[in-house]
Amino acid sequence: MFAHAPLPKDEADRLQALRSLNQLDTPLEERFERITRIARRLFQTDIAALSLLDGDRQWFKSIQGLDIAETGRDVAFCAHTIVAESGLLYVPDASKDDRFAQNPLVTGEPGISMYAGAVVRAADGKSIGSLCVIDRNAREFAAEDLELLRDLAAIAESELCAASACSVQASLVENMMDEQQTRLIDDLTRLWNREGGRRALAEHLLRLPASSEGVAVAVLDLDRFKITNDSHGHDAGDAVLCEAARRMLSGLRDADLAARTGGDEFTIVLGGCDSPDRARAVLNRVRSKVSDSGFSHKGSVLPISASIGAVWLPGGTTASVDEVLGRVEAELHRCKQAGRGRVSVLDASPDAARAPQAA
């Protein structure tokens, strides 16, 4: 057997603090992907994760190096981290630690050997999870390394507070029951799915008539994705979709929103976008992130390229979801006719010329 972590004395209050953040079962966000990406690279570990400890599970708001969304709380190393007096748990070799030697995550996949985790707290100080790095080999960390991990955990705390206050996505999450919320998340990419994307877009459009800020709505389509799927199989196709989603997020701003709305199509909403030029700049960055290098998968380098069609709507615009998406799809079609691997943004302001502007 392996040791189960004791429950914190303030477990009921702790769970209330966690759930009040409305972050469980939400889509991936670049602000957290950035932190786990930095942690994994900084410490050169196999895995890095931001883990939130719910009542009976460990749910990953972000995880790099492992394709999993959650585990049982009973096997979670992070369950031990949140009750550590120092707010830190460091296990150089789990196979030699009586608490973890027989843990299924050590004896089986992913084969944890080294674990280091720093507690992540809510604004009221309650321990809600941890930022951790994991390696499949025993590792020695210096005290300075563990302090850096604490610093990154503190950044994660700040971002969790900021994310819970982010207007449109927070409103969408807050108005959904828990069992409905998971139905709005795409199982493969962990972005919003088609329905979640439509609801988020509707929320943006509802606010637009009274706003002084514009909104850009875009559809990103992976070029020649069917060839990859047919040539390398659906597993490879799924891996490309997940990689494209992560790359896309890395090019977006924290307040932007992304959803997988088709087999190889993603809808992007840029809130607080003051001009079509600004929309074009952000979307060109996204296209570059997605397309600039191939993706290594099981010994093969798979190409990834994207085309993006978008419509910019100024503040004061009144439009329906279907109307906007129809115009965006038409702009994507014009973009791909002009040549793949580019961005085309239509300025939908009343005094703008209706000709597409490509870059």
In the prediction, which pLDDT does 177 show? 46
Rg value, the chain, Cα = 22
Residue keyed to tokens 């999450």? 173
Fold that domain 173-358 belongs to in CATH: Alpha-Beta Plaits (3.30.70)
Sheet holding 47-53, edge to edge: 70-72, 57-64, 47-53, 127-135, 114-121, 88-91
In whole angstroms, give the CA distance from residue 247 to residue 345. 20
In the prediction, which pLDDT does 272 show? 86
Residue keyed to tokens 């503040």? 315
Domain spans, the chain: 11-165, 173-358
Q: Is 305 helix (H, G, I), strand (E, B) or coil?
A: coil
Amino acid at 21: L
HSE-up (13 A, CA, CB side) for residue 324: 28
Tell me the pLDDT tens digit for each residue of 138-154.
Answer: 999 999 999 999 999 99
Tell me the pLDDT tens digit for each residue of 288-335.
Answer: 999 988 788 787 888 889 999 999 999 999 999 999 999 999 999 999
Contact assessment for residue 73 and residue 58, using Cβ atoms and an 8 Å cutoff? yes
Q: How high does pLDDT run on average in the chain?
A: 89
Beta partners for residue 267, in sequence order = 219, 259
Q: Helix (H) and strand (E) counts for the chain?
A: 12, 14
HSE-up (13 A, CA, CB side) for residue 323: 9
Q: For the chain, what percentages of helix, strand and coil (3-state, to nearest 5) are there?
A: 45, 20, 35
In the prediction, which pLDDT does 161 show? 81
Tell me the pLDDT tens digit for each residue of 51-102.
Answer: 999 999 999 999 999 999 999 999 999 999 999 999 999 999 999 999 999 9
pLDDT at 355 over 60: no
Tell me the pLDDT tens digit for each residue of 335-345.
Answer: 988 888 899 99
Fold that domain 11-165 belongs to in CATH: Beta-Lactamase (3.30.450)
Give the residue ranges of DSSP H helices in 218-320: 225-232, 234-251, 276-291
Tell me the pLDDT tens digit for each residue of 215-270.
Answer: 999 999 999 888 888 888 888 889 999 999 999 999 998 778 999 999 999 999 99
In whole angstroms, give the CA distance from residue 273 to residue 215. 5
Average pLDDT over residues 160-171: 66
pTM: 0.79
Percent with pLDDT over 70 in the chain: 92
Q: Is 156 helix (H, G, I), strand (E, B) or coil?
A: helix
Letter string b/e over residues 226-251, b meaning 16 or more CB atoms within 10 A of that residue's CB: eebbeebeeebbebbbbbbbbbbbeb
